[in-house]
Amino acid sequence: MQLRAEAIILSIRAHGEHGAIVRAMTERHGLQPGYVRGGRSRRLRPILQPANVVQGEWRARTEDQLASLTVEPLHSRAPLFTEPLPAAALSWVTGLTSAALPEGQPYPRLFDALDGVLGAIEAAPAARGWGTALVRYELLLLAELGFGLDFEQCAVTGSREELVFVSPKSGRTVSRVAAIGYESRLLALPDFVLDGGAADWEDILSGLQLTGHFLERDILVGRGAEMLAARERLVERIKRAVA
């Protein structure tokens, strides 16, 4: 097996004294793992950072063998890891992608969306500039993995008007009228999810609460507390930035 492609670094795990196992996302070949010899060296550590873009070359004698991986830097986002909020956002979105996706299956829409989210964080480190993009990315990831939410019509009345809530059980929208008396049991559906455009802080946080519920229920089952803690850190840092 030999593969050469541009890739976004998602996660790095130490292996042995000097090496590292790297998981990276490519556009046409999906998530690809590889062993980088000397991946923990002073030369390679700045390159092997989550969210960095590299030209990767994977080589293996058989498809069942973990490929050896060599990388050439194309674009670095490492400086953003010196700022707490962008660092938390980059760590979460790359870690989520690494944990959620199966290896070797192409998700070109997710690749483009991930590149867009990372670029938005880089361009505007304040969460107001990328919060909506992160929510949309998480919704797309849910959909691509077969857990998409249904925003077409009210689950109770069939109406397409004033869809402002989502059922935490079915993932279907509920209209304002149908939700009367049950609002506290439902998840808020921010306007930007349906209509696009910018959003205020309250809507961004509502969007993250919405996607977080279904990510925890459907995607991160059995993944341990580490991933959920990373998301909680991100949300808390956004809240502190708002205050």
CATH value at residue 15: 2.40.50.140
Residues 118 and 210 in one domain: yes
Closest CA to 175 of 200, 196, 155, 202: 155
Give yes or no: residues 114 and 102 share one domain. Answer: yes
To 5 degrees, how large is the angle CA 168–CA 170–CA 171? 65
Asked if 52 and 19 touch (Cβ cutoff 8 Å), the reply is no
Residues 52 and 86 in one domain: no
The reply to whether 205 and 138 lie within a common domain is: yes
Q: Are residues 108 and 147 in the same domain?
A: yes
Residue 11: strand, helix, or coil: strand
Kind and range of the H or E element at 54? strand 53-59
- Structure token digits, residue 55: 């030209």
Among 41, 76, 111, identify where a domain stops. 76
Same domain, 219 and 103: yes
Average pLDDT value over all residues in the chain: 94
Neighbours of 138 (CB within 10 A): 25
Q: Are residues 50 and 107 in the same domain?
A: no
- Mark whether 57 and 120 lie in a shared domain: no
- The pLDDT tens digits of the residues spanning 92-110 come to 999 999 999 999 999 999 9
Task: List the chain pLDDT tens, one digit each, 243 residues.
Answer: 899 999 999 999 999 888 999 999 999 999 999 999 999 898 999 999 999 999 999 999 887 889 999 999 999 999 999 999 999 999 999 999 999 999 999 999 999 999 999 999 999 877 888 999 999 999 999 999 999 999 999 999 999 999 999 999 999 999 999 999 999 999 999 999 999 888 999 999 999 999 999 999 999 987 767 888 889 999 999 998 887
Report d(CA 128, CA 201) in Å as an integer.
7
Residue 34, both tokens: 């590889």
Asked if 132 and 223 sit in the same domain, the reply is yes
Residue 102, CA atoms < 13 Å, CB-side half-sphere = 6
Q: Which domain holds residue 233?
A: 78-151+189-243
Closest Cα to residue 50, out of 17, 22, 30? 22
Q: 139 lies in a domain?
A: yes
Q: Give CA 52 to chain center in angstroms.
A: 14
Return the number of other C-beta atoms located less than 10 Å from residue 60's C-beta. Answer: 16
25-51 core/surface letters (b: 16 or more CB in 10 A; e: else): bbbebbbbbbbbeebbeeebeebbbbb
